[in-house]
Each structure stands twice: as C-alpha cells, then as structure tokens.
Structure 1
Amino acid sequence: MTCRTTAIGLALAASLLAAPAFAGVIGTNVPAQPITAERIAQLPAAQQPAWKAYLERSIAQGKADRAALAAELKPGEVAPPPPPTGHGDGGMPLDKDAAWYGSPEARHVADVIVSFQTPAGGWSKNQDRTGAPRLPGQPWASDNNSKHLSEADFDAARDPKWGYVGTLDNNATITEMRFLAKVSRQTPGQDGDVYRQSFLKGVRYLLDAQFPNGGWPQVWPLQGGYHDAITYNDNAVSEAAYLLTEVSEAKPDFAFVPADVRAKAGAAARKGREVIVASQIRVNGKPTIWGQQADPFTLAPVAGRNFEPAALSTGESADLLFYLMQLPDPTPAEVAAVHAGVAWMKRAAIMGWEWTGKGDPDGRHLIEKPGAGPIWSRYYSVDGRPVFGERDKTLRDNANELSRERRDGYSWYGSQPSKIIRLYETGWAKRHPET
C-alpha cells in the first residue's frame, strides 16, 4: 500500500523541542472507521469475497454469543452481576515452576478460565481469574466502559453492556491460552481434557478472528470503531502470531494439538508476519516505524482513543521490532523492516530532556536537563515531530500544555527503544547485515 502516510497528515506547528514559543493546538483527532459492508464494497473485486465472509462470520458469531448467554437463564430470571473488574493478567502467572501448574491452586484458576470462555472461543479482559467460576447467565465481561467518556467519544461502546467479548487487549485470550496449556501439560488423561479442549477452542478463535490480510482486531466478534483496526497495541498481532507459531512447531506445552490444527496455526502466523511488514509506514517512499493500529483495508495508521492520534508510535514499534528480531528465520523483507525501523528510532531520539514529576503537585512535565536521554515521544508526525492528544480530541505539540489528568495518566515519553537499539547493535545487525 502506498497511501499509508496520508492518514497522518497532521498540520503541525513547531514542536516543543524546536520552538516552545509556538506550541499549541495543531489539529483534531479523527475516529478510525469500522469494518462495514459499505467499505468492503469499495475494495477491489478480488478482495471482496474474503472480507464479506469475514464480516458475515463476525456478525453471526456475535449473535450466537448473545443467544447462548440468554439461553442460560430461565424466563424472568435475573442475570447475576458482571464479574468484578480486575487488572491485566490477574491470577494467571506464566513464570512458575512447571510442577506448580499441576497444583490445586493452578487447577482452580484454569477452571475459572474455562468457565469464562465465550462461545466464540475468546476471553474478555481485566478479570482476576483466582475468583469464583462464572455463574449461569453471568456476563463474560466486566464493566469495561471508560469513566471519562465525552460526547461522541471514540471509546464509547455500541452496547455498554456488551464490550470486549472477547479481546486480545491487555494480553487477554493469549494469557488464558498459555495458562491452560501449562496446566494441561501437568494434568494428563481425562482430567486435563477440559483444558486441552478449551485451548483448542481458543486456537479456533484466533483463526476465526484473523483478517484476510493477516492482521487481528482488538475485539472479535467485531465491536466497531478503532477496535476493528489491526491492533499492534498490547502486542495483539505479534503475540497472536508468536503463540500460533509455537503451536505449529508442537512446542512441549502444545504437543497435544492435532497436526491439521498445527498446520492452520502455522499458516496464520506467517500471514501475521506479512501484514506487519506491509503496514510499516513509508514517508517519501522510505520505511519508518508503525502506528498503534492500522486500518484493516488501507493499512494506514488510525486513531485509537480520543487522545491517541493516527501517528507513528514508538512503543508499539519497539515491540514489533523486538518480535521481528527474535524470529529464527526472518525473510529478507523482515530484515529490511528491522534495519529501517531501528534507523528511524536512532534519528528520533531526544537528548537533553527529561519527562519527570510523577507525584509532584504540578504533575508530570518535560524539562530541559543536560546529559539526559535518550527518550522518545510516544507519538510522532510523519515529519518526525512529537504529537500529543487530549480527551477533547485536540492534538498538541507540547506535552506540558496537556491537562494534568492526561499528563499524569498516559506514557507520553519513554525509553523503550533503547533496548531495541542495543539488541540491534550488539548482535542482530551483525547476524543480518544490510544488503
């Protein structure tokens, strides 16, 4: 695709680092477009059948999920309240000694995981899996509605009572699957069959949720808005591809997976790798890094929440570069993508400035500090200038002008690319020289 830069045509004034006196509002964030029949009808004819089938599958599965939940209750019976909201990967450690996964404690977590698996095969997010198993008629998802919604908010759910059912956001679904595989390996025979069957259902979920071009959305069945975009946030695409690669290779935790499923998993993982390379943003014909999420059809970067612009995103790009650098068999295109991405990161490094003030009365802010750095802005425009967003959708070129809530509530600067550059310079580049 050659049009990926057009979606980040942000008309920026001078950046903070270049000319603080001219800092201010530089634009307004625009929402990502969902996958619809109307958009599919505008695609080249050869691409339309696969996307039509995909959308139909999503719609049908969404209806099936809702019907299955309703069928669990008798007429007039009141549904139990949603499960309490937890955080991240609550209760599902993946770094314990192998024997622990055969313990009653681990088996309980696995039983809870199985109980919250949706009919589609995925899981929702932000739940503590050490709690009670799901009750009949109880929603699969917690209350995931934002507490900061404004009018026409990008994060507003189409159905407030039905959000993130299921999702790859916040490492959901992937973590549940990996935990189940570890428990099943320590639970041979019939006692472990329930965990193995749940894992296989999860694999089918990943295969069903994958776009025809190899990407994965944040939520499937589709939820609309930016959730329908190819999601690099929280490593959704790379973690799905990595897990499916391990499944295809029959790694010890996944040795029970049938050969035909392993073959499908391997093919899906390869498509995931291909879309990563294809969606690397090009500026003036030269590859740079990636957006936080990409339009499923054009592969152009698109906005996320109100304050997350369609821009080059260093955090997600660092994760993607790390994933590509771990591949044992990178293609020439993947090697070239890494070289280009690291080169861009080096050029974008900010020296002599520090993002500081956590817990201070005035909140976080950027200050000039000799010898500090390197740090990177979370987002950059196509011309390499930092860009920041507010909840009111305004885009700014000065993080210090953001509201206190947004300065303290988001990682506008970070040093994550430093690790990638070190890995690149201390070994990877030597093993994979530029051609």
Structure 2
Amino acid sequence: MRLSRGMSSLVLLLAVSTSVSVAAELGALSGAGINPAVIGMNQPPQDITVERIARLPVVQRAAWVAYLHHSEEQRKVDKAKLAAERTPGVPIPEMPKENPGARSMPLHQEAAWYGSPEARHIADVILSFQTPAGGWSKNLDMSGAPRAKGQSYTPDNLSKHLSEADFDAPKEPQWNYVGTLDNDATVTELRFLALVAGQAGDAAARYRESFLRGVRYLLNAQFPNGGWPQVWPLEGGYHDAITYNDNAVTQTADLMTTVAAGEGDYAFVPANLRAEADKSARHALQCILDTQLKVKGKRAGWAQQQDALTFEPESGRNYEPASLASSESADVLLYLMALPNPSKAVVTAVEGGIQWLTSAEIQGQEWTSKTAPGGRTLVAKPGAGPLWARYYDLATDRPVFGDRDKTLHDDVNDLSRERRNGYSWFNESPAKALTAYKTWSAKSIPATEVLKK
C-alpha cells in the first residue's frame, strides 16, 4: 500500500478500532501529549534532478537526462531572447496585469465571429505573448494590449500569502510560469488560434505557424512517461510533477487527439506532426492508466499532481497535501469515458475510479457559506449531500485538510478561518462522473459486470 509522505501520524490512527469515532481517537492521542488538531505536516514537493534520475532503472535514465537537459537549455534560450529585447538604461515595461486569461479567449462562438476584428485582435495579442519555447503563461488578458518589446511574457502570478519556505515561492520571482498548462493556459491559446486561422483567409498563415510552434512546445514538454508538468521549461517544486490539476494532462491529450485527426480547422497540420500528436495522445493515456492510485489494494483515483519519476502523490501549495483528489479524479474519469472503443485497461480503470468515488461520498453534511457565523464549517444536516472532500489520504481513505502553516488535519473545522473560507475543501463535481458512468457502462461493460452502488 502506498502511503502519503508526511502522514506518519495518520498511521497511528490505523491501530485504533475503526468503530471508535475520530474525535475519540484524537482524544486518546491528546492524552499521549499529541495535539489532536494536527495529524501531520505537509512535506515539500521534489524537483526533477540528475541525482533523482540516477536512482531510476538504467533503461529509463537516458531519456530523462535528455529531457532535463533540453528543459534547461530552452530556459536559457527563453531568458536570453527576452534580455536581448531590453536596452540598458531604457525602462523595462511594466508586467502585464493579472486577469482570468482563459475567459478572454472564448472557444464557443459562431464560426463567423472568429473572422471578426475582435477575434483577430485577440489572436494577434496571443501571438505577441508566445514564449520562444512556444507556450504561454497564465492569467493574461488576451483581449488587451499586445506585449511590448522587452515586456515580461507573464503577469506577476505571485501568491500574496507567501511565507517562509513556502512551497509556492518561485526560485526566481521574475521568471515564473513562463510557459504553463495551469489555468487552461497554452491549450486555450492553441484552440483559439485554430478557430481564427479557419476564418482568416490569406492572413491565416501566421496564426497557423504560431499554432504549430505551440504543438511542438507541448511535444517537447511531455515527459518520457507520457505525462505533462504544470510548467515547462521546468522551474522546480510541484510544477515539475505530472499535473492533473486544471485538467492539464487530459486537456492536452485531448488536443493532441484533435490535432492527430487533422479535420476541420486542424486540417492544415502536416502529416508528420499529426503522427507525432497521435503518438503523444496514446502515450498520455498510458501514463494516466499507470498513475492510477490504489487504496487497500484496489484501484481508486488520481492525485492533484504526482511525482514524475515515482508516480507518488505530490504535495502542492503549503495546504495541499499529497493525497487522492476527488475533483481531479472525476475529470480523469470523464476523459476516459469519452474515449471511443475503450480497451479493457480503460474499462478497468474507470470501474475502479467510479467505485472509489462512490465509496468516498459524504452524506448528511453541509459545507456552510462564508457568511455563516465563524466562517465556513462542515455541519450535520440530515438529507444533505452527496459531497466529496477535495483530498483523501491514501493510508486511511479519510478526508484530509491542510493549513498555510503546513499542518494537516482530519477535521476541516480545525483549519484557520482564512483557509476554511479561501479554499474549496468540498465539491460536488464527482456527481457528473457518476452520472456519466451510468450511460457509459451500459455501452462499454457487459451487463453482468456493471457496478452497482
């Protein structure tokens, strides 16, 4: 059984009878001199390094060494090209303002709209912010002004709550998220460019050239095992992990499948690149299947991010523990159920994931609003639910919660008010996967094997 790092205190709880309430268990621990509100400490995520690669099986090392070298060299190129745009003594343009970037690139307008001046302006701004590597940062308002010469490729993107040794503190504050899949970045830009190119007539060439550069960026960023990091070139920390958060892996794999098909607005993609995209999507699917985690020997879900070298769940920010993530798992399952002609391996993965989500349902509890006395809390309410906690510990399969000071808790009500109010500790999104499964299972699984709740 795999154990989440930093959860040694939780293991103590396993020795206590499961019929005893959590409150009673923690009370017993308190009598032993252990703070009942804290069950562990979140551990820092790990970078991809040469030293860690050296611990892999020999057959895997060469590909990873080459990948890491390519990342480091591309980072140098990206920085050098920005530096070359800047003249000593000339003020550097201010960073772009941080905005919800994906919203500025609508993907579901009528086809003719993508030939409008408004859409063309957005596409031109997208081109101006494309990094030398071929990707984009996040939280850029692409409906605003184009990037100025020497201006950063990114907005600030720094957390306003950084503390000492914060997991979210970048090693280079001025070089952060320079090329990312976070917050739907890069994939959204590429889909928007394809739509505009399809309506741009003689002006389509430059949008298509930018699109092709972006696809090659994604191919370069893909790990040797088929996953994708949150940021590429790599910048360390949880950004180096296989990232299921914000659908980074599944959205990118889906785009690769679209590129491989080469239909409609994507018909311009050369045959050799379509073949690479097809291989990439297949490789990503295998990674998804390989990284499915187990609870008590049974297939369950996926973590928010998983270590690229070991597949172990990886912590994110200070308050995001290495654990199973219900929302990300639901999104992965929806992706798998959308695949045509699912293989036996896909069916097995979906069955296990759906069974885990069903077992993780929380009934009879309500997550109150921020305006409630004392802030958001979890309270008993007959008939309420189902809810799912955002995170579940692998060792116990119980909900787990984190605070900014890296403490881990099994009761959300023990968190600081700021973290209770400021984070989505509970969600209902797995319900969509459970609903989709009812239809999918009828088509994809023999009737005798359909799971019953």
TM-score by length of 1: 0.96
Instruction: Determine helix, strand or coil for the equivalent of 1:344.
Output: helix
> SS at 2:278's partner residue?
helix
Please report how far the alpha carbon of residue 8 of structure 1 lies from its aligned counterpart in structure 2 after TM superposition.
7.4
In structure 2, C-alpha distance between the alignment counterparts of 1:187 and 1:173, rounded to whole Å: 20
Q: Which residue of 2 aligns with 1:132?
A: 145
User: What RMSD in Å do the two structures reach over aligned CA positions?
Assistant: 1.7
Are 2:409 and 1:396 equivalent residues in the alignment?
A: yes
Structure 1 pair 174–76 and aligned structure 2 pair: CA distance change class (3 A) = same
Answer yes or no: is 1:115 the counterpart of 2:128: yes
CA distance in structure 2 between the partners assigned to 1:116 and 1:312 by the alignment: 35
Gap change, CA 1:243 and 1:124, over 3 Å in 2:
same
SS of corresponding position for 2:9:
coil
Could you tell me which residue of structure 1 aligns to residue 9 of structure 2? 11
Choose the corresponding residue for 1:376, options 388, 393, 406.
388
Matches within 5 A, 1:334-413: 334-382=346-394, 383-413=396-426
Amino acid at match of 1:247: V
CA distance 1:24–1:198, shift in 2 (3 Å): same
**What do the CA deviations read for 1:118-164 (whole angstroms, capped 9, x no partner)?**
00000000111111000010000000111101110000000000100
- Verify the 8 A CA contact 2:45 2:315 in the aligned structure 1: yes
Is 1:41 the counterpart of 2:54 in the alignment?
A: yes
**Quick one: distance in 2 between partners of 1:428 and 1:251?**
29
Cα distance in 2 between the residues matched to 1:8 and 1:267: 37
CA-CA distance at 1:415 after TM superposition: 1.1
In the alignment, does 2:175 pair up with 1:162? Answer: yes
Q: Residue type of the partner of 1:343?
A: Q
Match of 1:331 among 336, 343, 348: 343
2:44 maps to: 31
Which residue of the partner structure matches residue 31 of structure 2? none
Q: State the identity %.
A: 57
What's the CA shift for 1:192? 1.1
Contact 1:4/1:301 (<8 A) preserved = no
Q: What secondary structure sits across from 2:309 in the alignment?
A: coil
- Residue in 1 that maps onto 2:199: 186
Q: Which runs of 5+ in 2 are unaligned?
A: 27-35
After superposition, the C-alpha distances for 1:300-341 in whole angstroms (9 at most, x for unaligned) are: 111000000000110100000000000013221111000000
Pairwise CA distance, 1:88: 4.0
1:320-376 CA-to-partner distances (Å, cap 9, x unmatched) read 000000001322111100000000111111111111123334211101000111111
Aligned to 2:33: none
Quick one: which of 225, 238, 254 aligns to 1:226? 238
Distance 1:390 1:156, change over 3 A: same
Amino acid at match of 2:22: A
- Please tell me whether residue 71 in structure 1 is matched to residue 76 in structure 2: no
C-alpha distance in 2, partners of 1:304/1:87? 21
Q: Structure 2 CA distance, aligned partners of 1:186 and 1:88? A: 22
Further displaced range: 303-312 or 326-335 = 326-335
**Distance verdict in 2 for CA 1:88–1:4, change over 3 Å:** farther
Give the structure, 1 or 2, with the largest relative contact order (CA under 8 Å, sep 6 or more).
Answer: 1
Hey, what does 2:229 align to over in structure 1?
A: 217
Aligned residue pair count = 431
Shift of 1:32: 1.1
**SS of alignment partner, residue 378 of structure 2:** strand
For 1:158 and 1:40, the matched residues in 2 are separated by 21
In the TM superposition, what is the alpha-carbon distance from 1:41 to its structure 2 partner? Answer: 1.2
Q: What SS is found at the alignment partner of 1:100?
A: helix
Q: Quote the residue 2:286 is aligned against.
A: 274
1:293 corresponds, among 305, 313, 332, to: 305
The CA deviation at 1:46 is: 0.9
Q: How far did residue 10 of structure 1 move?
A: 4.9
User: Which residue pairs with 2:68 in the alignment?
Assistant: 55
Per-residue Cα deviation, 1:139-192 (whole angstroms, up to 9, x for no partner): 000001111011100000000001000100000000011100100001122x11
Q: Partner of 2:196: helix, strand, or coil?
A: helix
1:424 aligned onto 2:437: yes
SS in 2 for 1:384: coil
Distance 1:381 1:98 in 2: 46
Aligned to 2:218: 206
| SS of residue paired to 2:174 | coil
* Amino acid in the other structure paired with 2:425: W
Q: Is the 8 A contact 1:248 1:265 kept in 2?
A: yes
Task: Indicate the larger mover: 282-291 or 316-325.
Answer: 282-291
Return the letter of the residue paired with 2:9. Answer: A
Contact 2:111 2:195 in 1 (8 A): yes
Which letter does structure 2 place at the counterpart of 1:324?
L
Aligned counterparts of 2:386 and 2:226: Cα–Cα separation in 1: 34
Are 2:270 and 1:258 equivalent residues in the alignment? Answer: yes
**1:315 equivalent in alignment to 2:327:** yes
Partners of 2:101 and 2:142 within 8 A in 1: no
Q: Is the 8 A contact 2:126 2:189 kept in 1?
A: yes
- The code of the aligned residue for 1:322 comes to L
418-427 vs 95-104, greater mean Cα deviation: 418-427
Tell me the amino acid that sits aligned with residue 405 of structure 1. E
Worse-superposed segment, 326-335 or 129-138: 326-335
Distance, in Å, in 2 between the alignment partners of 1:262 and 1:72 is: 34
Unaligned runs of 5+ in 1: none
Superposition deviation, residue 45 in structure 1: 1.1
State the Cα distance separating 1:426 from its structure 2 match. 3.2
Question: Which residue identity does 1:347 align to in structure 2?
Answer: S
Distance 1:222 1:240, change over 3 A: same
Q: Deviations over 1:276-319 (max 9, x none)?
A: 11000123332111111010011011100000000011010000
Tell me what 2:155 maps to.
142
